[in-house]
Amino acid sequence: MQNRRTLLALTLAALPLIAPAQEVWITKNTAAKFSVDLTELRASAGGGALFVQTLQNDLVRSGWFNIARPATFTVRGTAAAGAGMSAACELFDNSRNRALLNKAYNGTAAETRRLAHQAADDIVFAATGKKGMNGARLLLAGRMGGGKEIFLCDADGGNLRQITHDNSISLAPQWAPNGELFVYTSFRRNNFQEINLVDLRSNQRTVIAAYPGIDMTGGISPDGGSMLMTLSKDGNPDIYVQGLRGGAPIRLTKSIHAGQASPCWSPDGNAIAYVSDHSGQPQLYLMSRGGGGGKLLTSRGSQNVAPDWGSEGIAYCSRRGGRYVVCVINPATREDRQISPGDCDYEDPNWAPDGRHIFCTRTSGYRPTICMLDTMGDPPLALPLGSGDWTSPACTR
C-alpha cells in the first residue's frame, strides 16, 4: 500500500501543466509525453512512406509525443505519392472521442518532407496548443576546407544546401522575421568585413554595411526594419543600429578601451541584450532600444556571451566550471537555469520557434556540430549534417 501511494505521488508530479487532466501520460526520458498511434495512417510505397516516416520523426522530435499503441491520440488518413504528394491527416483524441484536426496536404513530390513538417506542426498545435518547430529552417556556417560558407537546412537537419560560394569566410547569419531575408558577415573583400543582405526569393545579395574596421551582424528587429551591428569605425567595437535597406548607422554604445558584441532584440523590440567586456570579462548587458546605460544582467559565470532573446527568456552561453554551457535567464526575475549537460562545450544558443527547444553548437574533440537542446528535459539531439565543422545556428521564428 505504501508503495502504491508513492507511485501515485510520482505520477502526479510528472503531470505537465498544459494538458487536459483526463489523459494518459507516458514519461520517457525526463519530459512528459502524449502517446500517439500512427498505424492508421496508410502510406503508399516511396513518397507516402517518406511522408509518414518524416511525420513520425517530427512528432518525436517535437518533444510532446511518444509513438505507441494504444494511445491517447490516433492519426488517421492516407499519404499517397502519384504525380505529386497527397496526404490527408485526422488527429483523433481517443480520451475525449473527438477529432481535433482534419487537413489535406498536397504538393509536388519534392515537397513531401515540407508537407510532413507542416502536418507535424499542425498536430502539435492541435494536441498541445503550442507552436511547433518542425517547419522551421536553420542557417548555419559550415567550414569547407579553409573557408566558411553559409548553409540552409530544415529543423531536422534535412534538405541541407549551400547558399554562399565565396571561397572566403562567412559568419554569423541572422534571419529577418519573414524567413526570406537574412544578413551575414563576409570576409570576401580581402578579409575586410562587410555585412551582406541576402534575399532567398531572388537569390540577390546586397552589401549593406562595409565600414572601416569590423562589420559584424547583430539581430534584425522584430518589425524587420532595422539591423543591429558591431562596428569599430569610430574607435572601439560598439553597437549600432541601421535600417535594413540602408541609411546611416546610429551608435548605441560608447566605450573606451572595451569591446561590445552580439547585440539582439527583445521580442517586443523595445530592449537590446549585448556583450561588453568593459568590466574586464565579457558579460551580458541590457539597454533600451535607443541605447545608453547598459545594465549587467547576471554575474554568474566567468564569461557570459552570445545572447538570444526569445519569448521564454534570454538564452546565452556561460563559462562555468571550465566548460561553456547554455543557460536561460528570465530578464525580469533574473531566474537562471542551465539547459545543456556538462559533458562538453555548448555554445551559440538560438531559440526554436516553439519556445521550448534551443539550437546550439556542441563541441566535442574540437569538432563543432549542431544540436537541439530541450528546456523541458529531453537529452540533446544532434542534427545529422555530415562531416564538417558546423557553427552559428540561426532558426526562423
In the list 139, 306, 360, 395, the residue contacting another protein (rule: CB under 8 A) is 306
Distance from C-alpha of 170 to C-alpha of 146, rounded to nearest angstrom: 11
Q: Considering beta carbons, is residue 29 or 204 the nearer one to another protein?
A: 204
Shortest gap between Cβ of 160 and another protein (angstroms)?
A: 21
Shortest gap between Cβ of 200 and another protein (angstroms)?
A: 23
In DSSP notation, 3-65 reads HHHHHHHHHHHT--SSS-TTS--EE-SSSEEEEEE-TTEEE-TTHHHHHHHHHHHHHHHTSSE
Q: Considering beta carbons, is residue 115 or 287 the nearer one to another protein?
A: 287
In the list 90, 111, 166, 312, the residue contacting another protein (rule: CB under 8 A) is 166
Binding mask 201-220 for another protein (x = CB under 8 A): ---------xxxxx-x----
Range 196-199, long-range pairs (CB < 8 A, 24+ positions): 197/244, 198/150, 198/163
Which cell numbers hold the place of 233?
569605425
Residues 335-394, interacting with another protein (CB under 8 A): 347-348, 366, 391-392
Sign of CA dihedral 321, 323, 328, 331: positive
Shortest gap between Cβ of 166 and another protein (angstroms)?
A: 7
Classify residue 282 as exposed, middle or buried by CB count within 10 Å of its CB (0-12, 13-18, 19+): buried
- 233 contact partners, CB below 8 Å, separation of at least 6: 211, 212, 213
Cβ atoms of 389 and 141 closer than 8 Å: no
In the list 172, 286, 325, 371, the residue contacting another protein (rule: CB under 8 A) is 172
Cell 508513492: give the residue: 6
Classify residue 106 as exposed, middle or buried by CB count within 10 Å of its CB (0-12, 13-18, 19+): exposed
Shortest gap between Cβ of 280 and another protein (angstroms)?
A: 8
Residues 218-277, interacting with another protein (CB under 8 A): 230, 232-237, 256-262, 275, 277
Q: Considering beta carbons, is residue 306 or 352 the nearer one to another protein?
A: 306
**By CB under 8 A, residue 192 contacts another protein:** yes
Q: How many CB atoms lie within 10 A of CB 396?
A: 19
In the list 188, 205, 289, 320, the residue contacting another protein (rule: CB under 8 A) is 188
Cα dist from 52 to 73, 81, 345, whole Å: 16, 12, 35
Q: Considering beta carbons, is residue 94 or 303 the nearer one to another protein?
A: 303
Cell 562595409: give the residue: 210
Binding region for another protein (CB under 8 A) out of 48-56, 105-113, 155-163, 185-193: 185-193
In the list 272, 305, 325, 370, the residue contacting another protein (rule: CB under 8 A) is 305
Shortest gap between Cβ of 324 and another protein (angstroms)?
A: 8
Strands (E), 155-279: 161-162, 170-175, 181-189, 192-199, 204-209, 215-220, 226-231, 238-243, 246-251, 260-265, 271-276
In the list 189, 295, 300, 334, the residue contacting another protein (rule: CB under 8 A) is 189
Binding region for another protein (CB under 8 A) out of 43-51, 144-152, 327-335, 351-359: 144-152
Which cell numbers hold the place of 306?
552570445
How many residues form the binding site for another protein (CB under 8 A)? 52
Binding region for another protein (CB under 8 A) out of 9-17, 57-65, 162-170, 196-204: 162-170
Shortest gap between Cβ of 304 and another protein (angstroms)?
A: 10
- 78 contact partners, CB below 8 Å, separation of at least 6: 41, 42, 43, 44, 48, 86, 87, 88
In the list 56, 193, 266, 375, the residue contacting another protein (rule: CB under 8 A) is 193
In the list 94, 298, 303, 338, the residue contacting another protein (rule: CB under 8 A) is 303
Of 279, 275, 196, give the one whose Cα is nearest residue 239: 275
Q: What is the 3-state secondary structure (H, E, C) of 9-24?
A: HHHHHCCCCCCCCCCC
Shortest gap between Cβ of 31 and another protein (angstroms)?
A: 28
Q: Considering beta carbons, is residue 128 or 262 the nearer one to another protein?
A: 262
Shortest gap between Cβ of 238 and another protein (angstroms)?
A: 9
Which positions touch another protein (CB under 8 A)?
146-148, 166-169, 171-172, 185, 187-193, 210-214, 216, 230, 232-237, 256-262, 275, 277, 281-282, 303, 305-306, 317, 319, 324, 347-348, 366, 391-392
